[in-house]
Amino acid sequence: MEEFLKLVELVETLRGDKGCSWDKKQTVESFKTYLLEEIYELIDAIEKNNYMALKEELGDLLFHIIFISQICKEKASFDIKDVINFTHTKMYNRHPHVFMNSSSDKPIEKKWEEIKKNEKEEYSPLSNIPHTIPALLRAYIISKRVARVGFDWVKLEDIYEKMFEEIEELKKAEGSGQTEAIRQEIGDLLFTIVNISRFHNIDPEDALRFTSNKFVRRFNYIEKNINLGGSTLTEMDKLWDEVKGIEKKGK
């Protein structure tokens, strides 16, 4: 596509002999922080349902992908065409039910895991999960992947039973006063709640982000209507209930 090639050529110029000094000194490693920033800005645009911002953030992310590919091209590793062709081939092969007239009674996700397993000599459902992603999201991905291969609770009630068990173990750890034991039990409880979220097909990272935003919004209301330093908890709770009522009426 002409527009895509124009952007590729622009990046090549920026990295060229007569390009930008800042762009020429960038490395693949230096883009790690930039990429994280762009991803979160993209998510923010999605959550705000702001399509103008979404267009801009998708463009920024595309620019970064092309830029990194250009650096790799200069190292004679690969270029943006290789990235596109590799992804096209992978996605084509992973959708035989669409492109190859292949039929199967197995759920698509389980078939997907089988195809991935055949692609690699050494494969595990838990391979290639980055340690750097937020812990809550990583737990969600881990639980989804093992569930695809049958390592899962049979019903939601079983997870609730496990959750109450973990709460009791956390209380016991608290009673011991051992910080490490408490830390581990909190982690176990959180992981169990992640699985409850997964059973409802809800991303726990997204759910917690929504609740955090809601909390900030309600606390801001309290700040605007009271002197925090000279107010009681009862007074603040009253304002909290007040803003909750306002939000419910606005629905």
User: For residue 32, is pLDDT > 80?
Assistant: yes
Does any domain span residue 13? yes
* Locus of tokens 């609730």: 160
Does any domain span residue 117? no
The answer to pTM > 0.75 is: no
pLDDT in tens, 131-182: 888 899 999 999 999 998 889 999 999 999 999 999 999 999 999 999 999 9
User: For residue 250, is pLDDT > 80?
Assistant: no
Q: 193 and 218 share a domain?
A: no
Q: 172 and 215 share a domain?
A: no
Q: How many domains does the chain have?
A: 3
Q: 8 and 89 share a domain?
A: yes
The DSSP code for 139 is H
pLDDT in tens, 45-82: 998 999 999 999 999 999 999 999 999 999 999 999 99
Task: Please state, as a whole number, how many other Cβ atoms lie within 10 Å of the Cβ of residue 198.
Answer: 21
Residue type, 74: E
Domain, as residue range, for 19: 2-93
Q: 18 and 77 share a domain?
A: yes
Q: 168 and 181 share a domain?
A: yes
Does any domain span residue 197? yes
- Report the distance separating Cα 11 and Cα 60, nearest Å: 12
DSSP-derived 3-state class of residue 170: helix
Does any domain span residue 122? no
